[in-house]
Structure 1
């Protein structure tokens, strides 16, 4: 549809019974968003406030939680507005921007997890060299690359699609993702090939690197004393849980477009809700409960709150 000022609008057709359950949806998703902000901000503030947590491992955790917060903020405010609106629409330009942020931050999650796995590998397998390898400069470079590399990769298809001609204006989702490409009149072979390259560069290769480092850690831990095994279990298990959760959910997002109309609308709605809710909520809980130092500071904070 063409509105004034030649703005093209996309209809977000993935909502289920939104007219009937708008206030229930709004209340549930608002609660989820508030919890995401509270949980992630709490862990990040703990890491910032305590100097003994100013180590590479905890800095990477803070970066991962900030990434989760930004990821949620890209989706939730618009989603909450849509629940209370008569029409669930978004301009094509805003939709492209949401796609850019969504996939940039999604890929950043993999690269941050890869940096964390390398940090654990050096810490457990090369403990004597750890201070010289994982310096502040190294950590800073990893953080910059984790956010910059995916942004550069994703910017290419988004830029090329700005003036794309659309033949249909209804998106099978309630926010903008890779399904946006299905609205184009002509599919680009270059963008299809480029999408596979991006998937390998910032998705599959980091995942393979993570698996390789953790296999090496497990081998070293198995051959070492019980203390090394305990350290490996305490620090690596949370990272692996986050990786498995996120990999499964992002695989769904990539595959769902290929299935198109074969996937039931309600199932699509529920699964997509999990993508935007599960990890941002679970990441701070996993790290807060499983990481010994963070858990200790959380317990101290709760004890002080009870005393007051």
Structure 2
């Protein structure tokens, strides 16, 4: 029998212990989502409307913010509805789709950060060759790579998960995650292909992380020699490093490690916070960091505010 005929909906139990405060949670969540929409859309529109910002670094930043909107759209609307509802369920298809969005969003972020590191390496270490190497065509290929590769990888991942026979419909999370669905499989032997593919995927994106680390170590080594290069590094590379720390070393890595190896004895509220960190902190902080740190964007925003006051 097809597993879809056995389990048609999943129950999300992450909110069970916090429903006494759901009005407060709804208000704070709605405010947070509005802030995410405002800061990301503002930065995207600033870059699109100002031709002086149509450079590789800013186009990559624009794609970074678009990806942030994509990922948060997969979580916040459904979560807000759950806060207003007495039952927290999601359809089988909807759960697989949400899991796909969550994973592809996180991995696209890492891919974009890797492309940004490559762009900064060219700009600082090979400035004379920068414009001949980072052409519009190559930039478009890199942006497509950073988006389409996670989409293809996690399409296969979700397809493998959809073939599993599941023996439970209860997910101990606020939202659907592929690994949590796999853990509901009736037999461990059925999840071998999922596990193998998961570790291959992890290895692929670990290589992204290693490339970023190598790039910035090389950049730091290069920039130490010149005061001008040090200033350029602090101006354009520090936001990338901060984004990397916020997006992955603090949020995604903690969540992945907890999901696979963490204790179930932690309070549900703490488990929830660990789960939604990467949907809460990076989408708010990244546009603010870039907006204040990158001179061209900061000057453009200040100019718009000054004109609007007049």
Q: Same fold, TM exceeding 0.5? A: yes
Q: Which residue of 2 aligns with 1:287?
A: 290
Alpha-carbon distance in structure 1 between the residues aligned to 2:216 and 2:202: 21
Alpha-carbon distance in structure 2 between the residues aligned to 1:151 and 1:288: 28
Alpha-carbon distance in structure 1 between the residues aligned to 2:23 and 2:127: 54
Classify the secondary structure of the residue corresponding to 2:69.
Answer: helix
Q: 138-147 or 6-15, which moves further after superposition?
A: 6-15
Classify the secondary structure of the residue corresponding to 1:267.
Answer: helix
Alpha-carbon contact 1:16-1:266 (below 8 Å) kept: no
Q: Which residue of 1 aligns with 2:15?
A: 15
Deviations 1:10-40 (A, max 9, x none): 1101115343122111111111111101100
Listed as ranges, the gaps of 5+ residues in structure 2 are none
Note the aligned Cα RMSD (angstroms).
Answer: 1.5
Deviations 1:184-240 (A, max 9, x none): 112312211210110121x2111110111111111111112x111101111000000
Alpha-carbon contact 1:15-1:174 (below 8 Å) kept: yes
Listed as ranges, the gaps of 5+ residues in structure 1 are none
The number of residues matched between the two structures is 302
Classify the secondary structure of the residue corresponding to 1:127.
Answer: coil
The alpha carbon displacement at 1:122 in A equals: 0.3
Classify the secondary structure of the residue corresponding to 1:128.
Answer: coil
Alpha-carbon distance in structure 2 between the residues aligned to 1:256 and 1:181: 16
Classify the secondary structure of the residue corresponding to 2:65.
Answer: helix
Deviations 1:109-150 (A, max 9, x none): 011000001000000000000010000001000010101111
Alpha-carbon contact 1:118-1:213 (below 8 Å) kept: yes
Q: Which residue of 1 aligns with 2:125?
A: 125
Q: Which residue of 1 aligns with 2:246?
A: 245
Deviations 1:31-81 (A, max 9, x none): 111110110000010101111100000000000000001100010110011
Determine if the alignment matches structure 1 residue 61 to structure 2 residue 61.
yes
**TM-score normalised by the chain length of structure 1:** 0.94
Determine if the alignment matches structure 1 residue 179 to structure 2 residue 180.
yes
Q: Which residue of 2 aligns with 1:48?
A: 48
Q: Which residue of 2 aligns with 1:32?
A: 32
Alpha-carbon contact 1:16-1:269 (below 8 Å) kept: no
Classify the secondary structure of the residue corresponding to 1:10.
Answer: strand
The alpha carbon displacement at 1:7 in A equals: 5.7
The alpha carbon displacement at 1:264 in A equals: 2.8
Given the alignment, which residue of 274, 278, 290 partners 1:275? 278
Alpha-carbon distance in structure 2 between the residues aligned to 1:99 and 1:275: 14
Q: Which residue of 2 aligns with 1:160?
A: 160
Q: How does 1:106-121 map to 2 (within 5 A)?
A: 106-121=106-121
Classify the secondary structure of the residue corresponding to 1:57.
Answer: helix
Q: Which residue of 2 aligns with 1:195?
A: 198
Alpha-carbon distance in structure 1 between the residues aligned to 2:16 and 2:230: 48
